[in-house]
Structure 1
């Protein structure tokens, strides 16, 4: 019980520090953008990411990825890794840790309490396309029993296996985050099963029975299929670029 409680306290400390870092990193990204006299849309385009992603970073709702840090440093000579918490922020983290330690001592024997708190972070596997091989794992925060707004048991990461989708800025060895679904969503990029193979494709609905599968490895490729010829494994929501 005590070991579980220590792990939980460590997770809480990491989450608190992560939130502070996200806020500080967002402020620094915003300053770099404003110093460059760029709108969020222009800034996002130069970095090869979505405008919404830049907005969420600046608002402290998304973590700045290592690849984005590298691109910002390369383009603007600014290293946002050089972020230190103020004395007040460090004291806030210490005070939070002290409070949780005090609570943990009082509740060490409460198995239900410990199990509930242990769900703050969840380890999400990084799979190959077959979902049979676990390549890596990522820890993500669980909020209201969901991860990134999706059922925590339905989310996954996959390592991109080829360059079929380079035209969509998805390249081999990038890591994509998605959620499992069997629904066909128009214009979504999905992991699908077709002719006994699993591939990434953008899907466009032509009518109730026909779909257009789109790939782009430098040349746009399209293929018309019947709805019942493919199986949707999951939808891709975002991609971490590999530098």
Structure 2
């Protein structure tokens, strides 16, 4: 394993690039590149080709074959195989691209997609994880919704679109949120009036609003991204 990492480290140093620069070009974390160089990560031929493009040189002295050869010569071969076995990413029922599974492992998370009731996922969608965060939010707090109606059509959120949100405990300013109101989860643009009340807005053919006590609202998700369905 060290033979693979040594060759990559040598190529990076010869190119005058830092770990951070290589990671940015590959679209992975700096720690991932470091672990590859240290021989703690297994990489496949496709990823080796990507390293070659970054370093602007054809890397022919390394590969999956050399990884096995180097490990076979090591006294800790069995321990190495066991370590690799534990490190391999196992995808959920909804698999992501095979290359991503092999190359990125823990840098990918399948985020659940829910309906408004938020009980059981109806599907999953893969997201890139950086420092245990998705889009800057704790990865275990992020969820997705499939929009069920055109209540927010005027805000460019249509039935069938996918929206991504993060768990929310309060209402700050004006936000588009999934809230629980009168025993039902609904998607609304919510405005805190700072007087104990909130304004709930929906915008289909015309804009409508309702002023309700904030104590009657339970926040579920604060939405920050919409993926349009074509």
1:179 aligns with 2:174: no
Question: Is residue 92 from structure 1 mapped to residue 53 from structure 2 by the alignment?
Answer: yes
Instruction: Say if 1:115 and 1:20 are closer, same or farther in 2 by CA, change over 3 A.
Output: closer
The C-alpha deviation readout for 1:14-41, integer Å capped at 9, x for no partner, is: xx9xx779xxxxxxxxxxxxxxxxxxxx
Matched residues in 2 for 1:229 and 1:240: separation?
30
Once the two structures are superposed, residues 201-222 of structure 1 have per-residue CA deviations (whole angstroms, 9 ceiling, x without a partner) of: 1111112411111110121010
Aligned length: 160
Distance 1:113 1:133, change over 3 A: closer
Greater RCO (CA < 8 Å, at least 6 residues apart): 1
Alpha-carbon contact 1:175-1:240 (below 8 Å) kept: yes
Which residue number corresponds to residue 87 of structure 2? 114
Match 2:128 to one of 131, 141, 144: 141
The answer to which structure has the higher helix fraction is 1
* Kept after mapping to 2: 8 A contact 1:108/1:114: no
How big is the shift at 1:194?
0.1
Given the two structures, how large is their TM-score scaled by the length of structure 1?
0.57
Decide which structure has the larger Cα Rg and report it: 2
The answer to which of 167-176 and 108-117 deviates more is: 108-117
Partner of 2:41: none
C-alpha distance in structure 2 between counterparts of 1:119 and 1:241, whole Å: 27
Do structure 1's residue 152 and structure 2's residue 113 form an aligned pair?
Answer: no
Normalising by structure 2, report the TM-score: 0.60
Mapping for residues 21-100 of structure 1, pairs under 5 Å: 91-92=52-53, 98=63
- SS of 1:123's partner is strand
Distance in 1 separating the partners of 2:85 and 2:140: 20
Q: CA deviation at 1:140?
A: 0.9
- Structure 1 pair 112–235 and aligned structure 2 pair: CA distance change class (3 A): farther
Deviations 1:91-146 (A, max 9, x none): 43896x948x8399674322797179732111111111111232221111110111
Gaps of 5+ in 2: 1-21, 28-48, 72-76, 90-103
Go from structure 1 to structure 2 and tell me whether the alpha carbon gap of 1:185 and 1:102 turns closer, same or farther (over 3 Å shift).
Answer: farther
Unaligned runs of 5+ in 1: 1-15, 22-87
Instruction: Measure the CA separation in 2 of the matches of 1:108 and 1:92.
Output: 29
What is the rounded CA distance, in whole Å, between the counterparts of 2:192 and 2:85 in structure 1? Answer: 47
